[in-house]
Structure 1
Amino acid sequence: MEFRKSIKSDVSRIMEIIRQAQEYFKLQGINQWQNNYPNKEVINNDIDNGQSYVILKDNNIVATTVVSFKEEKSYENIIDGKWITNDKYGVIHRIAVDSNYKGLGLSHEIIKYSEELCLSNNIHSIRVDTHEENIPMQNLLKKNNFKYCGIIFLEDGAKRIAFEKTI
């Protein structure tokens, strides 16, 4: 498997995987990624900012994510808890795995690669937020030693539960 930065020619394949995730959330009754988000514009912006990544298996894109080192405005105010650290941090967003490759541990691989990226940038903390109904993501985070830290609100007012891990 290969973990690499996304390029513009990856966008249509990334969007296929995102659409599968949107459909999965819809079928599970999870109100996440249901209002034309993320869309091509968001993915192109992620690529332009150098923070979009894909996993390839046999030269086929099978998973996607974003790893950012920019401070998140929505992480400034956390309620019902607190962050583990106040240091610089990396952020993982938009983990999505092709439906045909679920159950192979690719989400765990994304977290592992993200940790390596952070360490190579001398960053020893990773933060993630997710929808409170997204139990599979919460379980993934807990299995990878992320700790629940509290509640944050996105810029559009959406409530998310926040996790952090020191590495």
Structure 2
Amino acid sequence: MEFRKSTESDIEEIMSIIRQAQASLRTLGVNQWQNNYPNAGSIRSDIGHGSSYVLLKNEKIAATAAISFDGEKTYDSIYEGQWIMDQAYAVIHRIAVDGKKKGFGIGSDMIKYAERLCLEKGIYSIRVDTHERNLPMRKLLQKNRFQYCGVIYLSDGSERIAFEKTLC
């Protein structure tokens, strides 16, 4: 497998995976990633900020994620709990796996690569948020030893549950 930063030429393939994830969430009745988000503009912005990554298997994109080290404003306030560490952290957003490759640990592989990036930068914490009803994501986080920390609110007021994993 190859883990690398995304490029503009990857956007179409990334969006195909994102659309699969959007359809899957819609089928599960989860109101996350609907209303044209994420879209090609979101991915293009991630690429521009150097935070879009892909995981390739047999030269095809198997998974995508935004991994940022710039903090997350919506994480400044957490309710009904608290973050584990009070120091620099990475954020994983927009993680998605190609539907044909689900069940093979690709999501966990993407998280492991994110952990390596963190350690290379001397960052020992990763934070993630998701919709309470997004059970596939919650299962992935639990499998990879993320701990539930509380509730955060997105800029549009939507509630998300927040998780953190420490790497030390």
Q: Name the TM-score, length of structure 2 as normaliser.
A: 0.98
Q: Distance in 2 between matches of 1:102 and 1:141?
A: 15
1:108 counterpart residue number: 108
For structure 1, list consecutive stretches of 5 or more residues without a partner in the other structure.
none
Q: Which amino acid in the other structure matches residue 67 of structure 2? A: V
Question: What SS does structure 2 have at the residue aligned with 1:55?
Answer: strand
Q: Which amino acid in the other structure matches residue 87 of structure 1? A: Q
Matches within 5 A, 1:8-157: 8-157=8-157
1:161 counterpart residue number: 161
- Cα deviation for residue 42 of structure 1 reads 0.4
Question: What SS does structure 2 have at the residue aligned with 1:15?
Answer: helix
Question: What SS does structure 2 have at the residue aligned with 1:30?
Answer: coil
Q: Please, which moves more after superposition, 139-148 or 82-91?
A: 139-148
Q: Which amino acid in the other structure matches residue 133 of structure 1? A: R
Runs of 4+ in 1 over 2 A off after TM superposition: none
- Cα deviation for residue 62 of structure 1 reads 1.3
- Could you list the per-position Cα deviations for residues 13-66 of structure 1 after superposition, in whole angstroms to 9, with x for gaps in the alignment? 000000000000011111110110000100000000000000111111111001
Q: Name the TM-score, length of structure 1 as normaliser.
A: 0.99
- Cα deviation for residue 140 of structure 1 reads 1.0
Q: Which amino acid in the other structure matches residue 156 of structure 1? A: D
Q: How many residues align?
A: 167
- Cα deviation for residue 136 of structure 1 reads 1.2
- Could you list the per-position Cα deviations for residues 81-139 of structure 1 after superposition, in whole angstroms to 9, with x for gaps in the alignment? 00001110000111111111010100000110000000101000000000000011111
State the superposition RMSD in angstroms: 0.6
